[in-house]
Amino acid sequence: MISELCTHDLASGRTEVVLRHEGVVEAPNWHRDGWLLVNGEGRLFRVPLDAPALHPLETGGIEGCNNDHGFSPDGRLIAFSAKGRTGASCIYTMPAAGGPPRRLTPLTPSWWHGWSPDGSRHAYAAARDGGPVLPHLCDADGHGERPLAQGFDHADGPDWSADGRRVWFNGEREGRVDLWRVSPDGTDLQRMTGGDGVDWFPHPSPDGAQVLFLRYPPGTAGHPANLPVSLMLLPQDGGPAQEVLRLDGTHRGGQGTINVPPWRPDGRAFAFVRFVP
C-alpha cells in the first residue's frame, strides 16, 4: 500500500502530492504554522510543508494512536485518540510539539473529532453502556460528558461549524447514512443530505461557507478503506452537493482520507490522503 498525502486548492482546482509513503498514513490536519499532522502505524507524525518528511511526535509512551486527532483553535494543543494503556480508544491532549499527554475522557471507547471554535468543548464519537456509537460533547477539561444526538443505529464524525452554533455528523437511520447537523444543546436536528450515496465525515470550512465530506458508493457498510469515493462540497445552509475530487482507478480512498478536520486555516484549501493499492 502506498499513501499519497495531498493538498487541494479550491480556487485553482490543483492537487499537489506533498509526500508519497510506502505504508499507511492517514487523516491530515493542517496547522496554522504550515505543517500537517498525520498518523501511521500507531504513531503521530509532523509533516512540514516546506520540507516534507515524517517526523514522529512524542506522546509520552501512549501507543496505538488512531486517525482521530486535531488541533486546538489556537494551535497550541493536539487532541488525539489512542488505545494507550486502556485497551480501548481514549482521548488525550498534549502540546502541539509533542510531550506529556493528559487523559481527557475517563470513559471508553471515545474517538475525538472536533474542538469548538471558542476552545471550550470537544466533540467526539463514543459508545456507552453497550449502546451504539453516537456523537458526544464534553467540556475542554473532559468533564460534563453528554450525548448530542439519539435515535441512530450509528452516528459518527462530529465536527463544529465555524461559528460554533452547529455540530455536523454522519448518521445511519433506517438503512441510510446521511449528513446531519444539530445545535450543541441537542435541539434543531436537521438532515442535510439524501440520495443513494453513503456520506461520512463532514467538515465545515473555517470561513463558514461550505462543508467538505466523503461520499461512498451506494450500499457501502461502515467506512472502509480503498474504495472508489468522492470528496464533496455542500453549502453550509444546504443545497446540491458538488463533487470536488473523484478517487477511483489507480487511486482509492475512504478510511483515512479525511476522517478529521483537514482544512487550511483560511478555508481555501484542504489536505487529504489517497491510496495506491
Residue 253 lies in a domain: yes
State the CATH number of the domain containing residue 213: 2.120.10.30
Adjacent-strand bridge partners of 135: 125
Considering the domain boundaries, does residue 227 fall inside one?
yes
* Cα separation of the two ends of the chain: 5
Cα–Cα distance measured from residue 61 to residue 165, given in angstroms and rounded to the nearest whole number: 36
pLDDT at 249: 87
CA distance 240 to 193: 9
**Residue at 44 is within a domain:** no
Range of the domain at 230: 2-29+99-276
pLDDT at 48: 99
If you compute the radius of gyration of the chain from its CA atoms, what whole number of angstroms results? 17
Question: What does the alpha-carbon distance between residue 56 and residue 45 come to, in Å, rounded to a whole number?
Answer: 4
Is residue 239 a part of any domain in this protein? yes
Which pLDDT tens digits describe the chain residue by residue (277 residues)?
999 999 999 999 999 999 999 999 999 999 999 999 999 999 999 999 999 999 999 999 999 999 999 999 999 999 999 998 888 999 999 999 999 999 999 999 999 999 999 999 999 999 999 999 999 999 999 999 999 999 999 999 999 999 999 999 999 999 999 999 999 999 999 999 999 999 999 999 999 999 999 999 999 999 999 999 999 999 999 999 999 999 998 999 999 999 999 999 999 999 999 999 8
Quickly list DSSP for 157-199: EEEE-TTSS-EEEEEEETTEEEEEEE-TTS-S-EE---SSSEE
Q: How many separate domains does the chain show?
A: 1
pTM equals: 0.97
Q: Is residue 250 part of a domain?
A: yes
pLDDT of residue 86: 81
Residue 52 domain flag: no
Q: What DSSP assignment string belongs to 34-71? A: TEEEEEETTEEEEEESSS---EEPP-TT---EEEEEEE
Q: Provide the pLDDT for residue 277.
A: 87
Give domain status of residue 51, yes or no. Answer: no
At residue 84, the pLDDT reads 83
Between vectors from CA 60 to CA 103 and to CA 18, what angle results, nearest 5°?
A: 100
The Cα 71–Cα 32 span in angstroms is: 10
Grid cell, residue 142, equals: 473532559
Q: Is residue 82 part of a domain?
A: no
Please state whether 13 falls in left (phi above 0), alpha (psi between -120 and 50) or beta.
left
Q: How far apart are CA 113 and CA 136, in angstroms?
A: 10
Handedness of CA 248, 254, 256, 261 (dihedral sign): positive
